[in-house]
């Protein structure tokens, strides 16, 4: 969920920007030159995957996949998400410039957190890993929803109800993201386990 | 004419944003029981033609009749796709399931077959193409030739009445090409092959047809053992140059 | 055909010809000014300025309007909630629902702000082709790695979008129809996963191609920018306008 | 033997995690001044062989000599890559810069040429391939054939002494293939072409060689105007089956 321009208070915008700069700096440190094409190309693939319209009853939802991005990229997910969001702002005018920081935080912080939170579980093949993959997709969106709500509420009490509704709207997305992340994980494990090596790195 | 499998009448099609149409008042027809080759230079619209037939692209003007019935709306094409199989130019575009058997059973499942029957059909189709033993192979890791054959299996598993093949031989080695030729020669259904390779066409079709901007110029079959020239000649006919 | 397009980057207007570095700087300045503003006067002036820029850029207005419509969906959602929940003087009532004057004013302010900033983004940033933008950001001393991530990502966006499109067509010809069920979710997951696997292998190959061409950790940029008289004028005018906005925002008594 | 451009001795190579090696005690050599065709079924290791030569993959055993010098470490291969150009099977892998001119100048810049000279070399190479006017085109918007030619320009701009081409003709139409044939015929350097297309090989190389699991079986050149059979025969030779 992108927050639009002009909604958040300057303090929240600044906070988001600072966190994004720090996160991006940490992420870029971990990107050596060999990893540049990998991070960029995965970022492009995620951008395109987010164009998939998944039906849920009468509505279509876009995939987010930030949990999976965390799984595959760890900290490097931060610059990757920043770039993807910047391109979305440029090409579709989703989100925007001043909210780029906040939007990056709401998407990337859950990605990195889930990477560390579920790494342990994912190292055990079979059911634990499957649960871990579902939980990763599910909780990344949950955290994103919470962070969006937090950004809105920090802007002003007036946004309390809006924040609640936003959170509510995230519930179906969470479930679908959980399921999809699980299937993608199973696919990768079968087809290209090398891609999941980041989970095993110390 | 009403018994032709496919009829395209006065089709005009341009890609959105393109500065000139790929087809303008284009006519084409495929009589039943025919094995037809389709040739023409890069970008003359061969792939576009197949996609128009399958309803993956929609013409701006003109009518399409498939098995004698006019098709216009998405609903009509959904029915067409049950009876006409398309083999993509690139096998990688066609295969997206982790294992071969899942991929081959995907079509029958979408046709509403129960899982057990879908699996049975998938196995049976793979046997027919000499692919038994491939069930649990990872599709992504197959060699180029194997991918092509599995793609063909995914299409044949839907038991189509007509097969459209888009450059089925690109990147294939000689052995796989031979195998493909044998498989096609044994098929009982009509098919239409797009290819740049005349050798291959000589073995699989008896007639070739050259795609132009306005029509598909048929080249009549020649009696005798040497249909090579049919296809060869077509190539040297003046095409739309790029 | 492609869903990913840059409809605003093509053009020969004055705005298109300005140096991208100046445009990026000015866009950032105005976006921040407007995002922090709370005053109707400031924001209306900002909106007027952005509309002037839009007129100067000669962009296809239909496309701009279409974009604005989509972008305003979140704002529309705010209109449904904020006026009803914002405490203040009631101006409208229907059963248990009541809208407050302050709520309406506040939501209106957000709407104008949001649109003003987006129009500036469209006219000053989206008029630069992404590739030039990446080169300009590099010229503006953004981290090298980040700029190359941007350029690489953009380069492969199209490759994957095409692949994605073709995979969707493959689903169609095999009789797939999306529904709310597990089969659909699994199929879409496979689609996304296939894209990711291919992207991973392509990344390997691209890096190998770079090695073959003697890549040793430095990216060279051949793009040169030239700062011209029109850029001076544009910058000066923008700074004046920014000062005016600042004056309206901080030195004028509130009108809102 | 010491004057051979490339010598591979008893190479063993397996992809990590693969259940059997692609090459086992493999031997190969390329004499100078030669134009060699490399054929073999899908997955027999042709692409792998080229990547081993460039040091993009490292063998588990055996030695590689290039221009008479043994190469082992990354540093050795960095030098090799200045002298040997590789055209990738897929042009999209090769073109990663935003615009054509940047892509072509990328190699010369990495060779330490000053920007002005790099640009000059890039322009000159593009002229030679008939690509003038393409400088500021966006690479991803090129057609398949154009991408292939630009890829070739990026490789030639590094002024290699030896060129390795991995299936340069896939998906190209007759006209572009002809253009490629002329370009290759005009080149003064040695090259090695991997291809499944015998027609193309007949026009560009005089000898073909068939990749096996253990060695690269050379097929001696035949005098006369009909070198077709050289390549044709190679194909029917028993290969490593998949
Ligand atoms: N998605 C697209 N958007 C715009 N133009 C397209 C698109 N796909 C194809 N074209 C153009 O339409 C024309 C016909 O393309 P098509 O792919 O049908 O050619 P083809 O005959 O199959 O060529 P090939 O032998 O290379 O496969 C070409 O000029 C091509 O550039
Ligand atoms: N990255 C990889 N990881 C594991 N196995 C690989 C990888 N790349 C190739 N292989 C396997 O190594 C073998 C040789 O592959 P290679 O790409 O060299 O074949 P090729 O002769 O170039 O085939 P083609 O004619 O299809 O291009 C194949 O069996 C292939 O499946
Ligand atoms: Mg085609
Ligand atoms: Mg190969």
For ligand 2, what atom is nearest to the CA of residue D211?
Answer: 21
Quote the minimal CA–CA distance from D198 to chain C in Å: 27
Instruction: For residue B25, give the H/E element and its range.
Output: strand B23-30
Instruction: For residue D70, give the H/E element and its range.
Output: strand D69-71
Quote the minimal CA–CA distance from A74 to chain C in Å: 15
CB pairs under 8 A between B and C: 58
**B145 to D174: CB separation less than 8 angstroms, yes or no:** no
The answer as to whether A59 is a domain residue is yes
**D174 to B41: CB separation less than 8 angstroms, yes or no:** yes
Residue A125, Cβ density class (10 Å: 0-12 exposed, 13-18 middle, ≥19 buried): exposed
**D42 to B242: CB separation less than 8 angstroms, yes or no:** no
B98 and A CB contact within 8 Å: yes
Residue D213, Cβ density class (10 Å: 0-12 exposed, 13-18 middle, ≥19 buried): middle
Q: Where are the domains of chain C?
A: 14-128+226-251, 142-212
**Is C139 within 8 Å of C115 (Cβ atoms)?**
no
The answer as to whether A2 is a domain residue is no
Which ligand is nearest the CA of C169, by number? Answer: 1
A177-201 residues labelled b (16+ CB within 10 A) or e (exposed): bbbbbbbbbbbbbebbeebbeebee
Q: Is B22 in the pocket of ligand 1 (CB under 6 A)?
A: yes
Q: What pLDDT, on the 0 to 100 scale, is given for residue D235?
A: 33
* pLDDT (mean) for A58-66: 84
Q: CB within 8 A of C253, min separation 6: which ones? A: none
Q: How far is the CA of B198 from the centre of ligand 1 (A)?
A: 21
D1 has pLDDT over 90: no
Residue C217 vs residue B190, higher pLDDT = B190
Number of domains in chain A: 1
Write out residues 14-43 of B within 8 Å (CB-CB) of A: none
* pLDDT (mean) for C123-133: 89
The C-alpha atoms of residue B157 and residue B176 are separated, in whole angstroms, by 20
Q: What pLDDT, on the 0 to 100 scale, is given for residue D219?
A: 58
A142 has pLDDT over 70: yes
**Is C114 within 8 Å of C82 (Cβ atoms)?**
no
In Å, the largest CA–CA distance within chain C is 73
| Confidence category of residue D215, pLDDT binned at 50, 70, 90 | low
Which chain D residues have a beta carbon less than 8 Å from that of B170?
Answer: 170-171
Instruction: Give D17-69 pLDDT, tens digit per residue.
Output: 777 888 988 888 888 878 899 988 888 889 999 999 999 999 999 999 999 89
Q: Please, what is the average pLDDT of chain B? A: 83
**Is B129 within 8 Å of B102 (Cβ atoms)?**
no
Quote the minimal CA–CA distance from B169 to chain D in Å: 10
* pLDDT (mean) for B102-123: 93
D223 has pLDDT over 60: no
A12 has pLDDT over 90: yes
Q: What pLDDT, on the 0 to 100 scale, is given for residue D141?
A: 76
**C208 to D138: CB separation less than 8 angstroms, yes or no:** no
What residues pair up with B191 in beta bridges, in sequence order? B35, B163
B190-194 vs B35-39, strand pairing mode: parallel
Residue of chain C nearest A39, judged by CA positions: C149
Residue of chain A nearest B139, judged by CA positions: A191
What residues pair up with B8 in beta bridges, in sequence order? B28, B64
CB under 8 A, 24+ apart: contacts of B52-56: B52/B8, B52/B11, B52/B13, B52/B23, B53/B6, B53/B8, B53/B80, B53/B84, B53/B164, B54/B80, B54/B81, B54/B84, B54/B86, B54/B164, B54/C172, B54/C173, B55/B80, B55/B81, B56/C169, B56/C172, B56/C173
| Confidence category of residue B162, pLDDT binned at 50, 70, 90 | very high
What residues pair up with B216 in beta bridges, in sequence order? B211
D227 has pLDDT over 50: no
Phi, psi of C156 (to 5 degrees): -90, -10
The answer as to whether D69 is a domain residue is yes
Best A41, A83, A89, A152 residue to mutate vs chain C (most C CBs within 10 Å) = A41
For ligand 1, what atom is nearest to the CA of residue B49?
Answer: 18
Which ligand is nearest the CA of D51, by number? Answer: 2
Looking up tokens 């000062």 gives C243
Number of domains in chain D: 1
Quote the minimal CA–CA distance from B98 to chain A in Å: 6
Best B93, B122, B156 residue to mutate vs chain C (most C CBs within 10 Å) = B93
D81 and C CB contact within 8 Å: yes
CATH number of the domain that residue A45 is part of? 1.10.1760.20
| Confidence category of residue D2, pLDDT binned at 50, 70, 90 | low
Residue B125, Cβ density class (10 Å: 0-12 exposed, 13-18 middle, ≥19 buried): buried
Instruction: Give B62-93 pLDDT, tens digit per residue.
Output: 999 999 899 999 899 989 998 999 998 888 88
**Residue A45: which of D213, D37, D155, C154 has the closest Cα?**
C154
Residue of chain A nearest B141, judged by CA positions: A191
Which chain B residues have a beta carbon less than 8 Å from that of D175?
Answer: 41-42, 241-242
| Confidence category of residue D91, pLDDT binned at 50, 70, 90 | confident
- Against chain C, the chains showing at least 3 CB pairs within 8 Å are A, B, D
Show the beta-strand stretches assigned E in A16-58.
53-56
D144 and C CB contact within 8 Å: no
**C209 to D110: CB separation less than 8 angstroms, yes or no:** no
**Residue C8: which of C131, C125, C134, C155 has the closest Cα?**
C125
**B106 to C176: CB separation less than 8 angstroms, yes or no:** yes
Domain that holds residue D146: 6-219
C151 and D CB contact within 8 Å: yes
Q: Is B38 in the pocket of ligand 1 (CB under 6 A)?
A: no
Which chain B residues have a beta carbon less than 8 Å from that of D242?
Answer: 143, 145-146
Write out residues 46-65 of C within 8 Å (CB-CB) of A: none
CATH number of the domain that residue B137 is part of? 3.40.50.300
CA angle A133, A137, A139 (to 5 degrees): 110
Q: CB within 8 A of B191, min separation 6: which ones? A: B35, B36, B162, B163, B164, B165, B184
**Residue B143: which of B107, B118, B179 has the closest Cα?**
B179
Q: DSSP per residue over C155-203, as a string?
A: HHHHHHHHHHHHHHHHHHHTT----SSHHHHHHHHHHHHHHHHHHHHHH
Phi, psi of A55 (to 5 degrees): -75, 140
**Is C54 within 8 Å of C115 (Cβ atoms)?**
no
**D174 to B146: CB separation less than 8 angstroms, yes or no:** no
Q: CB within 8 A of D14, min separation 6: which ones? A: D20, D21, D22, D60
For ligand 1, atom 6, the nearest C-alpha belongs to: B15
B147 has pLDDT over 70: yes
D207-211 vs B84-87, strand pairing mode: unpaired
The answer as to whether D95 is a domain residue is yes
* pLDDT (mean) for C238-242: 92
Which ligand is nearest the CA of B87, by number? Answer: 3
Q: CB within 8 A of A3, min separation 6: which ones? A: A95, A99, A102, A103, A106, A148, A151, A152, C74
Which chain D residues have a beta carbon less than 8 Å from that of B93?
Answer: none
Q: CB within 8 A of D146, min separation 6: which ones? A: D131, D134
The answer as to whether D188 is a domain residue is yes
Q: At what angle do helices A100-122 and A77-92 cross, to 10 degrees?
A: 140
Q: How far is the CA of B173 from the centre of ligand 2 (A)?
A: 14
For ligand 2, atom 28, the nearest C-alpha belongs to: D43
Q: What pLDDT, on the 0 to 100 scale, is given for residue D242?
A: 35
| Confidence category of residue C30, pLDDT binned at 50, 70, 90 | very high
B138 and A CB contact within 8 Å: yes
Residue C212, Cβ density class (10 Å: 0-12 exposed, 13-18 middle, ≥19 buried): buried
**Is A99 within 8 Å of A13 (Cβ atoms)?**
yes
Domain that holds residue A172: 10-199
């Amino acid at each position: 969920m992108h927050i639009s321009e002009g909604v958040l208070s300057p303090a929240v915008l600044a906070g988001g920007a600072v966190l994004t700069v720090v996160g991006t700096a940490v992420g870029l440190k971990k990107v050596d030159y060999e990893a540049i094409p990998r991070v960029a190309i995965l970022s492009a693939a995620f951008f395109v995957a987010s164009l998939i319209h998944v039906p849920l009853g009468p509505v279509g939802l876009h995939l987010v996949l930030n949990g999976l991005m965390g799984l595959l990229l760890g900290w490097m997910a931060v610059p990757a998400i920043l770039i993807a969001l910047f391109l979305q702002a440029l090409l579709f005018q989703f989100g925007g410039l001043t909210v780029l920081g906040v939007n990056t935080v709401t998407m990337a912080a859950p990605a990195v957190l889930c990477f560390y939170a579920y790494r342990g579980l994912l190292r055990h093949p079979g059911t634990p890993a499957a649960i871990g993959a579902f939980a990763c997709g599910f909780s990344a969106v949950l955290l994103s929803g919470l962070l969006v709500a937090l950004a809105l509420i920090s802007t002003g009490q007036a946004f309390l109800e809006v924040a609640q509704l936003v959170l509510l709207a995230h519930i179906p997305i969470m479930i679908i993201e959980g399921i999809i992340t699980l299937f993608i994980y199973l696919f990768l494990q079968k087809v290209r386990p090398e891609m999941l090596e980041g989970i095993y790195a110390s | 004419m009403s018994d032709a499998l496919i009829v395209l009448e006065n089709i005009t099609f341009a890609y959105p944003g393109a500065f000139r149409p790929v087809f303008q008042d284009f006519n084409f027809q495929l009589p039943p029981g025919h094995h037809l080759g389709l040739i023409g230079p890069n970008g003359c619209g061969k792939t576009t033609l197949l996609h128009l037939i399958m309803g993956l692209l929609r013409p701006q003007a003109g009518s399409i009749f498939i098995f004698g019935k006019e098709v216009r709306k998405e609903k009509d094409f959904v029915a067409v796709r049950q009876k006409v199989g398309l083999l993509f130019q690139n096998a990688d575009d066609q295969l997206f399931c982790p294992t071969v058997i899942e991929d081959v059973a995907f079509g029958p499942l979408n046709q509403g077959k129960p899982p057990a029957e879908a699996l049975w059909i998938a196995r049976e189709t793979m046997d027919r193409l000499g692919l038994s033993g491939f069930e649990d192979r990872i599709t992504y890791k197959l060699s180029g030739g194997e991918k092509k054959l599995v793609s063909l299996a995914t299409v044949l598993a839907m038991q189509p009445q007509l097969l459209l093949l888009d450059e089925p031989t690109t990147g294939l080695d000689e052995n796989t090409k031979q195998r493909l030729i044998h498989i096609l020669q044994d098929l009982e259904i009509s098919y239409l092959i797009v290819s740049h390779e005349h050798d291959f066409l000589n073995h699989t079709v008896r007639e070739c047809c050259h795609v132009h901007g306005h029509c598909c110029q048929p080249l009549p079959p020649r009696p005798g053992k040497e249909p090579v020239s049919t296809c060869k000649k077509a190539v040297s006919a003046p095409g739309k140059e790029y | 055909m492609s869903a990913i397009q840059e409809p605003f980057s093509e053009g020969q207007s004055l705005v298109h010809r300005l140096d991208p570095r100046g445009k990026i700087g000015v866009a950032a300045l105005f976006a921040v000014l407007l995002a922090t503003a709370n005053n109707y006067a400031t924001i209306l002036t900002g909106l007027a300025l952005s509309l002037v820029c839009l007129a100067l850029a000669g962009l296809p207005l239909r496309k701009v309007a279409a974009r604005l419509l989509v972008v305003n969906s979140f704002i529309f959602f705010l209109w449904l909630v904020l006026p009803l929940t914002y405490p203040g003087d009631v101006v409208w009532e229907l059963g248990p629902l009541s809208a407050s004057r302050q709520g309406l004013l506040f939501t209106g302010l957000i709407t104008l702000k949001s649109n003003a900033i987006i129009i500036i983004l469209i006219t000053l940033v989206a008029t630069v082709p992404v590739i030039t933008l990446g080169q300009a950001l590099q010229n503006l001393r953004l981290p090298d790695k980040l700029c190359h991530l941007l350029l690489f990502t953009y380069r492969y966006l199209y490759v994957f979008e095409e692949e994605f499109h073709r995979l969707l067509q493959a689903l169609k010809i095999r009789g797939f129809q999306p529904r709310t069920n597990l089969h659909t979710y699994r199929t879409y997951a496979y689609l996304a996963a296939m894209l990711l696997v291919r992207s991973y292998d392509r990344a390997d190959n691209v890096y190998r191609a770079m090695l073959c061409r003697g890549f040793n950790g430095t990216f060279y940029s051949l793009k040169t920018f030239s700062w011209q008289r029109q850029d001076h004028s544009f910058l000066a005018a923008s700074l004046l306008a920014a000062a005016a906005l600042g004056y309206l925002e901080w030195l004028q008594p509130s009108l809102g």
